[in-house]
Structure 1
C-alpha cells in the first residue's frame, strides 16, 4: 500500500503528524484499561474521539491506509459503545494489534516526512505502508469476532480490498451512515470555514490547502463507498455522477494552486454552488431513491474555468500569481505575529555535539582555579590571582547555566518507557493464566534521553521476571490469604540529583536458601563461603552470569538473557541495582541512575603519587579509619563500621602500586563505596577535592583494564584515570 503526497503542503503534513502524536499518547494503555472497565462510558467516548479525530485527519490528507485502519477501530468501538457486543479478551487483542499497525503506519509517515530527498518523477513524496499482510490477519480476527453466530457458514474475507469489505458487509447501514457523516463534515467545513476565509483573503494559502485536502478526501470517501456497493444499488449512478463533479473540482483547485492564482470571487461562487450540489446529492444517497441531481451545468462551469486557466500565459498574470503578499507592510499585524515560529526541530546529533562542547568548557573552567592558585603560591601575585579567580567564577557561572539549559533540553519523561509495560503485563497474564495488575507512579519523572533509551530493555526484563517468577497463580495466592490478583508497582522518582526506578511485586519473594542451594549445586560458590554469606549477599547471587532458578524455558522467561545482562547494562550508564525481598511478602528491585552520563562529579584522591577520581554516585561516605580497627582473616581485611562488617583493601595494592607501610594507630583515609548490594572500604593516601569531570572512554588495549572506567583532564592539564567502584569490589573479593 502506498500514497503520494504533495511536498508543497509539508507544513500541513507536519501539523497533521503532531495532531496524531497527541492522539496516540496513552492509546494502548487506555485500551488495556477498557478490558477491566468495559462499562466506563467516559473511557469509551475518549477512545472513540481520539480514533475519529485521527481518521478525520487521514481522510483530509487522502491517506487511505490510515483512514481504513482507524475506520475499522472506530466501528469496533462504536459496537462497544452501543452495547452490541461484550468486551472480551479476543476483542482487546484485536484492538491492540490494530493500534500497533496504526502506530507503525504513523511512524513510517513520520520517517518519510523527514526524508525530503525521496521525490518521485511527478515531484511527489511517495509513502509506502508495508502493513498489508498484518492488516489482513487483524481484519480476519475482527471478522471472527463479529461474524453472525446464526449463520451456518461464515462470510469469507475479501483480501483484495485490504479487508475493509469484511466489516462493512456486516454493518452496511453503519458504513453508509459513516460515509454520510464524513462527507457532511467536509462540506460543513468548506462552507463555514474555508470559503469564508478565502472570501476575506483570497490569497490565504492555508485555507486553500485545507479546501483542496477536503475535496480530495470527499473523492476518496466516494470511491471507497462505491467499492462495497453491489452493482444493483440505486446509489451507484448517483455516486458515479458525484464522483465526476468532485474529481473535476479537485482538478480545478490543483490548477489554481499550480498556476498560483488567487481564489477570486468567480471561484468562490462556483465553490458554493458545488457545495450545494454535494448536499443535495447526499440527501439522495441517504434516501437511496436513485434520484439523479442535474450536474451537467456544474461540470460545464468547472470545465470553462479549467480551460480559461490553461489558456492564460504565466507572463501575463505575474502580478496575480502569488498566494501570499511578500511585502510586510501589507500584512496585518496579527498575521505577522502568528507566522513567527514557536518551536524548532533539532536533531539529536546537534544536541550531543553541543553537550560535548559544554563538556570541554567544563574542563577549561577548572583550569582557572588551578591558574589562580599557581599565581598566588608560586609567583606571589595575589592581586592577579584574585582577578583570575573572579574571571573563573564568571566562566563557572556561565558554564553551569549552559549545562543546565542543554540538560533541560535533553531531559525526557520516563513515560515513554513506562507506556510499554501494561501491554507486557497483560501478555504475561494471558500466557501464564495468572491474575495481575500494574500500578505506575511517577511517569512524569525526567531523565537524560540517552539513559532512557538504554534503560528500556532492563526494565522490560525485570517486569517480565516479576510477573512470571514473582506473582503466584490465583489459587496459590488465595491459600496464602492474599488477593487473587497480584500487584506489580512500577515507580520512578528523583532524589538527591538522581533518578530511582523501583519494580515492586507482592508475590512469593526470593528464598535465599534456594539460591544458596542452586549456587552450591552449580559450583558458583563453595560451602565454606556460603556459610559466611548474608541474606543480602545470597540474594545478589542471581546477578552471577549463567545463574538461573527457572525450572523450565517458557515464552516469558528462560530465554538466555539473565539478570547479569540486566546489571551490566545498568552499570554501563553508571547506574546500580539492588534487591530487597521477603518470602511471601514480595520483592523490590531498585535501579539507581544518574540524571546524565555526560558530566559527573567525582572525588580526587592520591595513591602512591598517582591521582585517581572516584565517581560521587558510588561513594557512600569518606572516613578516617584507625589501623588497629582493621582485622585480617584468611588473607582478607575487614572492619566494623556503624555496626556493620565491611571489607577493606588498599587501593595501591589493587592497582599493583606496591604495599604501603603504616603504623598501628595511624588514621587511614578510607573511601567507602557501594554497588547497591554491599559496601566496601578502599584506603587511599590523600583525599583532595571534589569536582566535575567529563569522562573520556579508553580505547584499544586500555579499554579492558579492570577497575578503570575511563579518563579525564584536570585543570592543570593532568590526565587522570576514573575508578570503576563496581569492578574494584569484585577485584578486592577475588
Structure 2
C-alpha cells in the first residue's frame, strides 16, 4: 500500500475523530451517566485504532486499544466514571493529538505512551493497584528513565523504597499531612516518583492513599516510624525494592502488552466462531433488540449515504480555481464594456447569458471556499476547561453562531488571535471565585463567543461578565511606559484609552504567567487581524465586563463594489459599506467647528471630500450647484463621501498592493477594470473616525 497516497485522508479523519472525542468527553463530564455519549467516544476510538493500525502507526493503535477497553467497561456498566478516569482519558486524547500533529509535521507519529497504557490497564484491572509484601506494582508514574535511576541507585549501594501511606478517613487537611510526609522523605533522600503525581497530591486529587518511591541511605524501620508519627497517618507500608523486582516490572509490562494483544485476537476469534455456532448456542433476540438493530442499520446507512455525497479537496486546488475565475471575471467585465460599445444585439445577448452563468459559477466557487467557524470554535471548550482548572476558576463558555461561514483562508489564520482573546478573558477579565461572590455575582463566570454576518463582513465577539477594564490603570501604565503624555491622557475618550491595550508590548498584568503578562498578546491579535483585512475593537464597563469585537471580510477574493470617479481617478467602494447614494445642494453644507456637515434623515453627518483627503488632482472646479454623495456606514456612524461621477456597480477582484505599499490610509487594495485600468479600493472604515 502506498502510505503517502492515503496520509492526507488519515490526518483529516484523525483530526475529526479526536475533535469529536474531546467534545464528547466534555459533554460526558457534565452527564457521566449518559451511556450513549460513551458509545460515541468508543466508536471514535475504535475507528481511529483501525485507521492507525492500517497506516502502521502502532503507538496510536496501542493507546486507542487501551482506551477502548476502558470505554467498553463503562458502556457495559462494569465501571463508573470518576474524575481520575476523566483525567486519564483527556491525557490520552492529548497524547493522540500530539502524535497526529507529529505525523503532520513529517514525523513518525511515535511517542512513549507506555505509562498511559499502564494506567488504562490498571483501570481495567480494577482501579489503583495495591502494593503487596515483597512486590512492586506497575504504577504509571514510573517511566523507563525512573526505573533506570532506581536500578543505578541500587547498583551504587543505595536503598530504594516503595512507601504506601494511608491517611485516616476523617482526615480534613490531606494536603497538609502529605506536605509533612514529603518533608520527611525529602530530608531522607531523593523522591523518584509518586502515584498520583505530586501536583495531584498537593491539590488533594486522591482518596486516602498515595505511593512514593524513595532513594535513601536511611534504615527502613526508622523511616517507617517517622512517617507513621505524622498526625492522621493511619498506615505505612514500606517495601524494600530490589533489582530483581525492577526487572520483573519491566518484563511484566512487556508481557502485559503481548497478553492484551493476544486477548484481543482471541476475543475476535471467539466472536467469529460464535457467529457460526450450533443452533443451541445461538441467542434468541427479543423484539426490542431487533428494533434497536434496525435503528442502528438505518443510522449507519444514512451516514454512509451522507459520506458518499462528499469529497475532500486540497485547498491549493481551490486557490487555483479562484485565481482562474478571477481572471475570467476581469475578461467578462471587459466583454460587457465592448458589447456596449459595439451595440450588436447578438453579441449583447451572448454576453448577458455569459454574465448570468458566470454569476452562478461565482457563487459556487465562493461557497466552495466557505467553512463554518465551528471548525475553529470546537477546540475552545476543552481549552477553556483546562485553563479554568489551572487558574481554579469556574467558567462557562457559551457559543452562538458557530454555523457562520468564513473564507477558508481567514479560518486558517483566525484561530491563534481568538485563543489570545479567550485566554485574556479568563485570566484578566474574570475575577477569582471569592471576588465574584463578594461582588454579588454568580461564582461561575460566563464567556460568550459569538459569530454573525453583517453585510460582506463576519463579526466574532468575545464577551465576559468579569471586572471590566480599569481606565485609570490603563492610563497610568501608558504614561509610565511613555506610550502617551499626561496632557494627551486627559483628552482621551474611553474608546481611545481601551485602544492603548493594543500597543506593542503593552500589559497591565501585575504578575507574569504562562497565560498573560508578557506584553505579547493584544498587539499580536491586532496585527494578525489587520493582515486579514479586518479590525478589532474593545468596549468595557468597570465591574460589568469586557467585549472584544473582531470584524473580518467574508471573503478575500471577490466583492461587489460601486465604481466612482473622483477628479481624474477611479475608485471602488464596497457595497456592504454603502447605505445609499444622494444628490444634495452645496448650500446645505454647513461648517461647524472646522467640520463640514450635511443634514441627513433627521441627523447631521460629516461630509468627506476625497480629493482633499487623498490629494487627488482636479483639473477644474465644478460650477454645479449640487453634489453627488455616497452615504457610508461604520457600525452606527455615518458619513457622506462626495464623488464627481457614479460609474456603476459591479463585482471586482481584490488584488494586493504588495509588500511595499502597506499601511496606506483609506486604501485596502486594488482591482483591474474591464478596460485594463487599475482602480484603488477604498476602505470606508478609515474614512469615518
- How far 1:678 moved relative to its partner? 5.8
What residue is the counterpart of 2:407 in the other structure?
448
**Whole-Å separation in 2 of the counterparts to 1:509 and 1:717:** 52
- How far 1:355 moved relative to its partner? 0.7
- How far 1:575 moved relative to its partner? 2.7
Q: Does 1:552 align with 2:511?
A: yes
* 3-state SS in 2 of match to 1:475: helix
* 3-state SS in 1 of match to 2:36: helix
* 3-state SS in 2 of match to 1:349: helix
Q: What is the TM-score with the length of structure 2 in the denominator?
A: 0.68
List alignment gaps of at least 5 residues for structure 2: 148-247, 279-304
* 3-state SS in 2 of match to 1:587: strand
Q: Does 1:363 align with 2:338?
A: no
- How far 1:485 moved relative to its partner? 0.6
What residue is the counterpart of 2:109 in the other structure?
129
**CA distance 1:533–1:105, change in 2 (3 Å):** closer
What residue is the counterpart of 1:353 in the other structure?
320
What residue is the counterpart of 1:492 in the other structure?
451
Residue deviations 1:127-172, cap 9 Å, x none? 833323xx35655887999643666966466856999x98996999
Match of 2:653 among 694, 697, 702: 694
Q: Between Structure 1 and Structure 2, which shows a larger proportion of strand residues? A: 2
Q: Between Structure 1 and Structure 2, which shows a larger proportion of helix residues? A: 1
Cα RMSD (Å): 4.5
Match of 2:425 among 441, 447, 466: 466
What residue is the counterpart of 1:424 in the other structure?
383
* 3-state SS in 2 of match to 1:710: strand
Match of 2:82 among 70, 83, 87: 87
Which deviates the most, 44-53 or 165-174? 165-174
**CA distance 1:695–1:459, change in 2 (3 Å):** same
Residue deviations 1:14-71, cap 9 Å, x none? 9877875653342112223344433443333432343244335555776532221113
- How far 1:418 moved relative to its partner? 0.9
- How far 1:541 moved relative to its partner? 3.8
Contact 1:48/1:77, CA 8 A, preserved across alignment: yes
- How far 1:651 moved relative to its partner? 1.6
- How far 1:96 moved relative to its partner? 2.6
**Whole-Å separation in 2 of the counterparts to 1:534 and 1:669:** 33
What residue is the counterpart of 1:69 in the other structure?
63
**Whole-Å separation in 1 of the counterparts to 2:631 and 2:250:** 67
Contact 2:401/2:450, CA 8 A, preserved across alignment: yes
Contact 1:618/1:675, CA 8 A, preserved across alignment: yes
What residue is the counterpart of 1:265 in the other structure?
none
**Whole-Å separation in 2 of the counterparts to 1:602 and 1:406:** 19
- How far 1:723 moved relative to its partner? 2.2
**Whole-Å separation in 2 of the counterparts to 1:459 and 1:65:** 32
List alignment gaps of at least 5 residues for structure 1: 1-5, 113-126, 194-274, 277-337, 376-380
Match of 2:263 among 155, 180, 202: 180
**CA distance 1:9–1:710, change in 2 (3 Å):** closer
Q: What is the TM-score with the length of structure 1 in the denominator?
A: 0.64
Residue deviations 1:245-291, cap 9 Å, x none? xxxxxxxxxxxxxxxxxxxxxxxxxxxxxx99xxxxxxxxxxxxxxx
Q: Does 1:481 align with 2:440?
A: yes
Contact 1:486/1:507, CA 8 A, preserved across alignment: yes
* 3-state SS in 1 of match to 2:329: helix
**Whole-Å separation in 2 of the counterparts to 1:78 and 1:651:** 70
- How does 1:4-83 map onto structure 2 within 5 Å? 6-7=1-2, 20=14, 23-55=17-49, 58=52, 63-77=57-71
**Whole-Å separation in 1 of the counterparts to 2:82 and 2:559:** 51
Q: Does 1:685 align with 2:644?
A: yes
**Whole-Å separation in 2 of the counterparts to 1:166 and 1:643:** 84
What residue is the counterpart of 2:672 in the other structure?
713
Match of 2:356 among 389, 394, 397: 397
- How far 1:356 moved relative to its partner? 0.8
Which deviates the most, 596-605 or 560-569? 560-569
Residue deviations 1:470-504, cap 9 Å, x none? 11111111122221011112222344454332222
- How does 1:557-636 map onto structure 2 within 5 Å? 557-619=516-578, 622-623=581-582, 629-631=589-591, 633=593
Contact 2:634/2:684, CA 8 A, preserved across alignment: yes
What residue is the counterpart of 2:398 in the other structure?
439
Which deviates the most, 479-488 or 611-620? 611-620
What residue is the counterpart of 1:103 in the other structure?
97
What residue is the counterpart of 2:199 in the other structure?
none
* 3-state SS in 1 of match to 2:536: strand
**CA distance 1:19–1:359, change in 2 (3 Å):** closer
Contact 1:576/1:676, CA 8 A, preserved across alignment: no
* 3-state SS in 2 of match to 1:128: coil
Which deviates the most, 19-28 or 63-72? 19-28
Match of 1:374 among 333, 341, 350: 341
**Whole-Å separation in 2 of the counterparts to 1:62 and 1:192:** 29
**CA distance 1:563–1:676, change in 2 (3 Å):** farther
Contact 2:57/2:109, CA 8 A, preserved across alignment: no
**Whole-Å separation in 2 of the counterparts to 1:168 and 1:668:** 90
Contact 1:434/1:473, CA 8 A, preserved across alignment: yes
Contact 2:506/2:519, CA 8 A, preserved across alignment: no
- How far 1:615 moved relative to its partner? 2.6
